[in-house]
Amino acid sequence: MSHASASRRTSAFRTTIDPAMAAVAGRTLFRLIPGSQIFAWVIAFSVLVNSLLVVVPFYTIQVFDRVITSGSIDTLLGLTVLTLAALGFSACFDIIRYRLLSRYAVGFEQQIAPLVLRASIYDPARSAESGAHDMVRLRELKNFISGGTITTLVDAPFIPLFVLVLYYIHPVFGSIAVSGGIILLLLAILSGRVARREMTRASGAASRAQQSLDTIVRHPNLIRAMGWTSGAIGEFLRLNDQALAPAVRASERIALIAAIGRLLRVVLQVLAIGAGAWLVLQNEVFTGSMMASSIMISRTLAPMEHLVSGLQSLVSARDAWSQLSGVIVPVLGMRRRTLLPPPSGTLGIEGVGMRAQGTNRLVLKGIDFCCLPAKVVIISGPTGAGKSTLLRLIAGLDRPSHGVVRLDGASLSDWDPDQLGRYVGYLPQDVELFGDTVADAIAGFEETATDDDVIAAAKYANAHEMILSLPKGYETEIGRDGVRLSGGQRQRIALARALFGDRRLILLDEPNSNLDPEGEEALCSAINDARARGLTLVIVTHRVRLFAVADHLLFLRNGVQVAFGHPSEVLPKTIGTVASMRRGSVSSTQPKPLSVEGRL
């Protein structure tokens, strides 16, 4: 079944979560995530857990007030068996709710991670602007869901139940519990404010430290060659210290507040025993009630005490969810586009202009041309003319400030991004290869790639023989980003990747910048073969060697279209600039001299 004829109701056209959720707030969004109804079961089991725990104080009352006075061993055994059974069921229900939360946490990450990654792919600049990496915050939120703070929050509403039981035993015990709960609540609020203040200070420094670490990991050879090892490590440690200092302060202060909370709970438990003893002496309660009240007060205040120490994770989780919901809501709000028929490769640029990010300065203005299938357009011009920017607009990576880029008459904004990507081959100026081997690098992330497809793409790029000359051929390990290959090898393999699959529009940014004369000849041959197969090619280059394969030449200067047409028409208008470009590339490419028609 073709993409265009597939049912609009199939899962291939819908995210796991309904896009209508994009219009709701983050809190509602969380509830609508598939599987979130599991929290209803968690609450139900929490009711059972807390209800069964009430049996402990009543067991104490019965032992002290009935068994000891009556001396009945059978009553003691019966009460003990019933109490142990209730506690056993409570423990089982507690285990079940923890398992439910743990499994939901895993499912939650599986649901949200694709949306976070999709947001990063569609908006790469966002990851650099965010306070922390989105996937790190997602893991943080998952750990929070599967941790103990959730159950503490669920248990907190049962505090009034225990307080009522204490008031039923005697108002003094209830008053002690209420007073302690209020004090612990104030401590929890203080703990949360301390955590938020310090973590806010740490977030920016943590982002800068992570960026420094990424730079060191990605560019170790440059750092070592330039003698920057000590300086790079020192810079990372400095930034890392700036991130750690607020976190340490927050942990220390929260630990102090938590210690006060624990001390308060113990003190209140002691006061309850003392008050109970006084009430026993006044004949207002029995001894069993005194012991039961002490246990009940400890159980009542336990969730509040845990909340004091766990509020830091709660604040962090809330911030993480706020960040993640801000990331995924725009993704969910993206409307599904109707899948268009496969393009023939007709490219139309209509009055395209582009402003520099954050300014009103135009880096491109008034670009206007058309290219039919099976044609080659060379984009040339001096440095800073806007060539790579134009290529990114054609690739759909950026949107023009004004004007339209069309493929087969349809604006790029009307194409489904994933569908468009299947027909566009893109070779960026900074080549990065993915995967473990050469074959993986050519196939990229194509799930249906076969060995025949990989070899065919390599042959299209005239890189097959070069790849076979590598130590293990197509199974040669390339290292991270292809670091084990030379610049020319990476560029030729990246060209094969751009030609992989059913591409109709090929975009190449400086594809010969790292190639020797032999590699450049192979590139020219690959371009001619691609044109013969009906592909449209748009190539950015400073080096005039590729002018020989051009059907059209687009010359830019300062973001303005100087000329567009056949090279024989354009070159006379730009001969001074082209001559200087030619002199700059003579040493590496040794291009052929200009012919009378202006072709090379």
Residues 6+ apart with CB under 8 A from 361: 355
Closest to 394 measured CA to CA, from 425, 373, 419? 425
* pLDDT for 29: 59
Instruction: Compute the radius of gyration of the chain from its Cα atoms.
Output: 35
CA distance 446 to 423: 13
Q: Where are the beta strands (DSSP E) in 218-361?
A: 347-355
Q: Which residues pair with 378 in a beta bridge?
A: 539, 553
Cβ atoms within 10 Å of 227's Cβ, excluding its own = 8
Q: Which CATH class is domain 347-589?
A: alpha beta
Contact 391, 509 (CB under 8 A): yes
HEC profile of 34-49? CCCCHHHHHHHHHHHH
| Distance (Å, whole) CA 119 – CA 498 | 23
d(CA 32, CA 37): 8
**Tokens linked to 132:** 């922390």
Cβ(288)–Cβ(63) below 8 Å: yes
Here the tokens at position 365 are 């203005």
Helix, coil or strand: residue 393? helix
Query: What's the rounded Cα separation, in Å, for the pair 548 and 391?
Result: 20
Q: What Cα–Cα distance (Å) separates residue 232 from each residue in 50, 131, 211, 213, 222?
A: 54, 22, 12, 9, 11
Tens of pLDDT, residue by residue, the chain (600 residues): 344 434 433 333 334 444 444 444 455 556 556 666 788 888 888 888 888 888 888 888 888 877 887 778 888 898 889 989 988 998 899 889 888 888 888 888 888 888 887 777 776 555 444 434 677 778 888 888 887 778 877 887 778 878 888 888 888 888 888 888 888 888 877 877 777 776 666 666 777 777 777 778 777 777 877 788 888 888 888 888 877 777 777 777 777 877 888 888 888 888 888 888 888 888 888 788 888 888 888 778 877 777 776 666 777 777 778 777 777 777 776 677 788 899 999 999 999 999 887 677 888 998 999 999 999 999 998 888 889 999 999 998 888 988 999 999 999 988 988 888 889 999 988 888 888 899 999 998 888 889 999 999 999 999 999 999 999 999 999 987 788 888 889 999 999 999 998 899 999 999 988 888 888 888 999 999 999 999 999 999 887 788 888 999 999 988 899 999 988 888 887 765 555 555 554 444 444 433 333 333
Q: How far apart (Å, rounded) are the C-alpha atoms in residues 557 and 379?
A: 11
Write down the domain spans for the chain.
19-332, 347-589
Sheet holding 536-540, edge to edge: 410-411, 402-407, 347-355, 362-371, 560-565, 552-557, 376-380, 536-540, 505-509, 424-427
Distance CA 316, CA 145 (A): 12
Tokens encoding 391? 């290529």
Q: Quote the DSSP letter at residue 15.
A: -
Looking at domain 19-332, which of 1.20.1070.10, 3.40.640.10, 1.20.1560.10, 1.10.1040.10 is its CATH number? 1.20.1560.10
Q: Tell me the CA distances in angstroms from 559 to 354, 387, 513, 545, 569, one per residue in order.
A: 9, 8, 22, 23, 20
